[in-house]
Amino acid sequence: GAMAICIYTFLIGGIIQTTAKNMIFITVARFIIGFASGFSSVLVPIYLGELAPPTLRGTLGTLTQFCLVTGIYVSDLLAFPFATEKGWRILFSVTAVASVIQILCFPFLIESPRWLLGRDRASRRARHIIKKLRGLRYDHEIEIEVNHFVSAAHKQACDNNEENTSSKVAFLAMLMDKQIRKLLVCSLVLQMAQQLCGINAVFYYSTMFFEGLIDSPLLGTTLVGGVNVVATYIALLLMENTNRRTLILWSAGGMFVSSVMLVVCLLGYFSKMASLFFVISFVSFFEIGLGPIPWLIVAEMFEAKYVATAMSASCQLNWVCNFIVGLIFPYMQSSLGAFSFLPFAVVLLFTIIFVIVWLPETKGTTPEELRDDIVRSLSHLMLLSDDGSNENHSSSVGNPIDIEWRRAMDDLKQQEEEDMKRGTYNYGFQPINSNLVEAPELDWQTRITGGAGT
């Protein structure tokens, strides 16, 4: 349903801009398409996250970014023949044509099994979809997978009335929970870093780097778009084999060096060809980390009850920062001149520090495991603190005494398992050993009657 609304919104905007009689109609159409773009940027990652098994979350998350940059690149290529006074309507009609193709693909779309089970835990349709998605053959395998979805859905309440929880209440609950608040801050900081690092300054104003080097500005923009596609494909190959934090650190570090070198090139110490190289390097490093991971990591960080709210907040902040960069970069360029990329280098430096100090690793973990790690780290800090305060530690962070008790029980359990393996565990009776006198062997009648006469 939500996917259909999004696609029809694209179709309406595409039709209006294709048949526009003046600039007012084009402006209205762009607002409609912009709304649909924001809608889809929230909806698609959530939809794929609910369909994908945990082993494919990273790949499918990066695949979304790959499709996005591929679409941008195709638009650049289509601009060569159609970005003319006579062909602009054909170029604008691509939006409507793509929407019609998506509408024709509706029969192949499947509903989210998590959403179906949230409405009806006995849903046969959800079980059929899970069987089809996971390639399962037996009913008990399907029920195991259903139980995973149902168990996650059981935790989807921010309060006791989980079905009536609004986004506002969910967001407030995220801010009130110390563990979730840390994850929310990490998610929002990454979204800010993705835009404030200056990537869209390169995309929006890439022609400034190609002046005197490439005659056609459109050719330079298309070159950047092609590099974007190749770099995202490389990220697609790396995503399931490399930690998220590692990729972001490499990404931010490479972009930091590239932005510093761009400043040096703009100061005239190197040729314009060198500045082109560092622009390509800047874009390439962006796509292996800061491009896809801030979107992917939201679905990996948060439990199901928070995903939609966290994704919505992340998307809003991302577009706000995008708007700010696009608006102020021309003024930065006129004021700072060759140093216009220096603020972006500062943002990237802070991003590197933040990732090293704060960002948890999400690859191969569940949201519950992340919360447990944060509980342990926060509880460790509380145990080490000697401020003498009488703060109540029985909140959601965890009581230090309870944590120590659980650790003791875990040690005891581990010791018992080792005793079982060695055969020395006391099950409540004395184990048989060679020092005991062997009882005489009884015949089968005596075993059955317990020694009673026949």
> pLDDT tens across 384-406, in order?
444 444 444 433 334 444 555 56
- pLDDT of 160 reads 42
Dist. CA 289–CA 242, nearest whole Å: 11
Burial class (CB in 10 A: 0-12, 13-18, 19+), 5: exposed
The model's confidence at residue 206, banded by pLDDT at 50, 70 and 90, is: low
Place of tokens 């003791």: 408
**415 vs 376: which has the higher pLDDT:** 415
- By mean pLDDT, which of 305-309, 330-334, 405-409, 443-447 is the weakest? 443-447
- pLDDT of 68 reads 84
pLDDT above 60: residue 417: yes
- Has this prediction a pTM greater than 0.85? no
C-alpha dihedral (260, 266, 267, 270), degrees to nearest 10: 90
If one counts every other C-beta atom within 10 angstroms of the C-beta of residue 136, the result is 16
Orientation of helix 57-82 relative to helix 217-238, angle to 10°? 160
The answer to whether residues 16 and 32 touch, using CB atoms and an 8 Å cutoff, is: yes
Dist. CA 303–CA 184, nearest whole Å: 12
- pLDDT of 231 reads 85
Burial class (CB in 10 A: 0-12, 13-18, 19+), 115: middle
pLDDT above 90: residue 254: yes
The answer to whether residues 75 and 234 touch, using CB atoms and an 8 Å cutoff, is: no
Q: Please state the rounded mean pLDDT for residues 42-52.
A: 78
Spell out the SS3 assignment of the chain: CHHHHHHHHHHHHHHHHHCCCCHHHHHHHHHHHHHHHHHHHHHHHHHHHHHCCHHHHHHHHHHHHHHHHHHHHHHHHHHHHHCCCCCHHHHHHHHHHHHHHHHHCHHHCCCCHHHHHHHCCCCHHHHHHHHHHHCCCCHHHHHHHHHHHHHHHHCCCCCCCHHHCCHHHHHHHHHHCHHHHHHHHHHHHHHHHHHHCCHHHHHHCCHHHHCCCCCCHHHHHHHHHHHHHHHHHHHHHHCCCCCHHHHHHHHHHHHHHHHHHHHHHHCCCCCHHHHHHHHHHHHHHHHHCCCCHHHHHHHHHCCHHHHHHHHHHHHHHHHHHHHHHHHHHHHHHHHHHHHCCHHHHHHHHHHHHHHHHCCCCCCCCCHHHHHHHHHHHHHHHHHHCCCCCCCCCCCCCCCHHHHHHHHHHHHHHHHHHHHHHHCCCCCCCCCCCCCCCCCCCCCHHHHHHCCCCC
Burial class (CB in 10 A: 0-12, 13-18, 19+), 230: middle
- pLDDT of 383 reads 46
The model's confidence at residue 180, banded by pLDDT at 50, 70 and 90, is: confident
The model's confidence at residue 25, banded by pLDDT at 50, 70 and 90, is: very high
**What phi, psi does 341 have (nearest 5°)?**
-95, 0
pLDDT above 80: residue 20: yes
Place of tokens 């780290």: 377
- pLDDT of 350 reads 94
Place of tokens 């149902």: 150
Lookup: tokens for 233: 């494909």
The answer to whether residues 345 and 258 touch, using CB atoms and an 8 Å cutoff, is: no
The model's confidence at residue 143, banded by pLDDT at 50, 70 and 90, is: confident
Lookup: tokens for 119: 């409405």
Vertex 330 angle, CA 332 and 67, to 5°: 110
Burial class (CB in 10 A: 0-12, 13-18, 19+), 296: buried
CA 145 to chain centre: 22
The answer to whether residues 251 and 290 touch, using CB atoms and an 8 Å cutoff, is: yes
